Amino acid sequence: MSDNFQELLNEVAAMTVAALNLDIQPEEIDPDAPLYGEGLGLDSIDILEVALVVSKRYGFQLRSDEANNAQIFSSLRKLAEHIAAKRTQ
């Protein structure tokens, strides 16, 4: 894993914790654990919040009707990979 990707992963973890006021440290999030339901335990409202913050921070829209949202939000690592591929900022 490149240093740049690790930095992005750390940034996305910190952004998620801050956006949702989670009671954990960003480094405590397992990058491969599910975000939704089990794992981090996010619900659909939490996912919408994360999508909004990602859109503002990285300059591209995460649409609610995107066919691969389940894949994108399956883990912190998958979200970071999607951001790395789509980001404009």
Render pLDDT for 6-44 as a digit per residue (tens, 0 to 9). Answer: 999 999 999 999 999 999 999 999 999 999 888 899 999
At 2, the pLDDT band (50, 70, 90 cuts) reads confident
At residue 30, the pLDDT reads 95
Percent of the chain with pLDDT strictly greater than 90: 76
**Quick count: other Cβ atoms within 10 Å of Cβ 66?**
14
pLDDT at 51 over 80: yes
Q: Are 81 and 87 in contact (CB under 8 A)?
A: no
Domain 3-86: give its CATH architecture: Orthogonal Bundle (1.10)
pTM score above 0.75: yes
Residue 79: name the closest of 55, 23, 38, 65 by CA: 55
At residue 1, the pLDDT reads 64
Q: What is the dihedral of CA 79, 29, 47, 72, to 10 degrees?
A: 20
